[in-house]
Amino acid sequence: MQNIYKPVPLKRHFLTPGVMILIVLAFNGLVFLALRLIYGLGFVTNLDIQHPWGIWIAIDVACGVALASGGFTTAALGHVLHREKYKVILRPALLTAMLGYTFVAFGVMVDLGRWYYIWHPLIYWNGSSPLFEVGICVMFYLTVLYIEFIPVVTERFIGKVNFKGLLKFLNIPIDSILRFLDRSLSKTMFIFVIAGVVLSTLHQSSLGTLMVVAGSKMHPLWHTPILPLLFLLSAISVGFPMVIFESLLAARSFKIKPEMEVLTGLARMVGPLLFVYFGFKLGDMVIRGTYVYLEVINTASVMFMIEIVFGVLVPLRMFFSEKVIHSKLGLFIASSFVILGIFLNRINDFLVAYNPPYAVKSYFPSIGEISVTVGFIALLVLLYRIAIIIFPVISLPSRDLLPKSKYEIKGESK
């Protein structure tokens, strides 16, 4: 008997002990955020004249963008390549990307000295700036993600808009707006889906171009003209592991059975993708001869080795093992390693590799910086939980919904 998976809002209580902890962390972050807005960047952060960028850029923005890549990789797989099997993971991945990019935008904003001018790049263009390209693409992609999410909202609320009391007169207009959106988007969605994939490849790679200009200040282990390509390849490799990681986490948290068949299918693609990334990374190292920097033991060489061994080689081996990709625990560990690897890579590229010439001390994030970053992550998880309780995002097997297909009539079964 085959189960049909259909996205449904999950009927769960919002408040759990874990949620309470997240709320405390989020509140703590917001306190430090308020201090930053009132007293300025210097008051809350450890940034200085020599170190202009800290973890708010390296983690909130660079890691945030990379780890939200599940959105465009699954869109390419499910919508562009029409792989029906993977339809069930599209919505969770979309939601993650949407929330992830929202917090990337917030992350950028609090890091800007003049945060209230965040709209300036829309007016003052600079085509030769990679940062301009990242900024514009992220703005457009965020819009595309919200548009892609509209059908989830219309599906949930069409015919169910039911305000009580004073707002009652809004019921019919809102319902017709939803119906209009649903109708027009069902025909045009492919435009946005492809735009989303193109915008993603553009800014994922340009995020790598950012540090190319810092040339003389960058450690040669990371500084290469193919940084944009490495960033794009690593973002593509981390997309599916991130989806697997989240699915397993959500399944555990909501006590539902993970769709192992789908996850194993995704996992089969991770190995080759990681292999291509590793190939370029290794090739770049050999061509530029940077392996000489690994002969000395210092922060840079140790961090590079950790990144490569635990972030690329270990998961590469694991994803090629049949035993691992068929086991929940194995998949979870292997995916965690890939995520760790990309996380380290972004931190290495933006912070460890950056050596300003006149620095008197090295940078380490302050309590305030860590609090805001952790607070944002906590808020993101909370919003994710709220969203999957309200909207039909997570797919559950449902026998009631099983249509009478022609296979059944013929008596075939799988």
Q: Which of residues 353-392 bind other proteins (CB under 8 A)?
A: 354, 356-358
Query: CA-to-CA distance for 218 and 256, rounded, in angstroms?
Result: 46
Please identify, using beta-carbon distances, which residue of 51 and 156 lies nearer to other proteins: 51
Tell the smallest beta-carbon distance from residue 47 to other proteins (Å): 6
- Interaction between residue 71 and other proteins (CB under 8 A): no
Which position has the token pair 């703590």?
28
Cα dihedral 364, 368, 372, 375 sign: positive
Among 79, 219, 281, 346, binds other proteins (CB under 8 A): 79
> How many residues belong to the site for other proteins (CB under 8 A)?
82
Please identify, using beta-carbon distances, which residue of 115 and 293 lies nearer to other proteins: 115
**Site track 211-250 with other proteins (rule: CB under 8 A), x = hit:** xxxxxxx-------xx-xx--xx--x--------------
Helix (H) or strand (E) holding 398, with range, is strand 395-398
- Interaction between residue 121 and other proteins (CB under 8 A): yes
Tell the smallest beta-carbon distance from residue 279 to other proteins (Å): 10
396: which DSSP letter?
E
Query: CA-to-CA distance for 307 and 83, rounded, in angstroms?
Result: 32
- Interaction between residue 256 and other proteins (CB under 8 A): no
Task: Give Cα 154 to chain centroid, integer Å.
Answer: 24
Please identify, using beta-carbon distances, which residue of 113 and 403 lies nearer to other proteins: 113
**Structure tokens belonging to residue 226:** 């193919």
Tell the smallest beta-carbon distance from residue 38 to other proteins (Å): 6
Query: CA-to-CA distance for 302 and 296, rounded, in angstroms?
Result: 9
Please identify, using beta-carbon distances, which residue of 118 and 249 lies nearer to other proteins: 118
Please name the amino acid found at residue 61.
V
Please identify, using beta-carbon distances, which residue of 193 and 248 lies nearer to other proteins: 193
Q: Are 22 and 378 in contact (CB under 8 A)?
A: yes
Among 28, 143, 171, 201, binds other proteins (CB under 8 A): 201
Tell the smallest beta-carbon distance from residue 404 to other proteins (Å): 16
Query: CA-to-CA distance for 2 and 404, rounded, in angstroms?
Result: 11
Please identify, using beta-carbon distances, which residue of 70 and 130 lies nearer to other proteins: 130
- Interaction between residue 92 and other proteins (CB under 8 A): no
Strand pairing partners for 398? 4
**3-state secondary structure (DSSP) of residue 218:** strand
Q: Of 22-30, 193-201, 288-296, 327-335, which part binds other proteins (CB under 8 A)?
A: 193-201
- Interaction between residue 64 and other proteins (CB under 8 A): no
Q: State the greatest distance between any 2 C-alpha atoms of the chain, in Å, as a whole number.
A: 78
Please identify, using beta-carbon distances, which residue of 48 and 182 lies nearer to other proteins: 48
Please identify, using beta-carbon distances, which residue of 47 and 396 lies nearer to other proteins: 47
- Interaction between residue 126 and other proteins (CB under 8 A): yes
- Interaction between residue 323 and other proteins (CB under 8 A): no
Q: Are 248 and 330 in contact (CB under 8 A)?
A: no
Question: How would you class 392 by CB atoms within 10 Å of its CB: exposed for 0-12, middle for 13-18, buried for 19 or more?
Answer: middle
Among 17, 127, 159, 289, binds other proteins (CB under 8 A): 127
Q: Among 281, 267, 266, which Cα is nearest to 233's?
A: 281
Helix (H) or strand (E) holding 305, with range, is helix 299-308
- Interaction between residue 65 and other proteins (CB under 8 A): no
Share of the chain residues as helix, strand and coil, in percent rounded to the nearest 5: 75, 0, 25
- Interaction between residue 84 and other proteins (CB under 8 A): yes
Please identify, using beta-carbon distances, which residue of 68 and 197 lies nearer to other proteins: 197
Query: CA-to-CA distance for 414 and 412, rounded, in angstroms?
Result: 7
Pairing of strands 4-7, 395-398: antiparallel
Q: Of 113-121, 294-302, 305-313, 329-337, which part binds other proteins (CB under 8 A)?
A: 113-121
Tell the smallest beta-carbon distance from residue 229 to other proteins (Å): 5
Among 20, 31, 112, 292, binds other proteins (CB under 8 A): 112
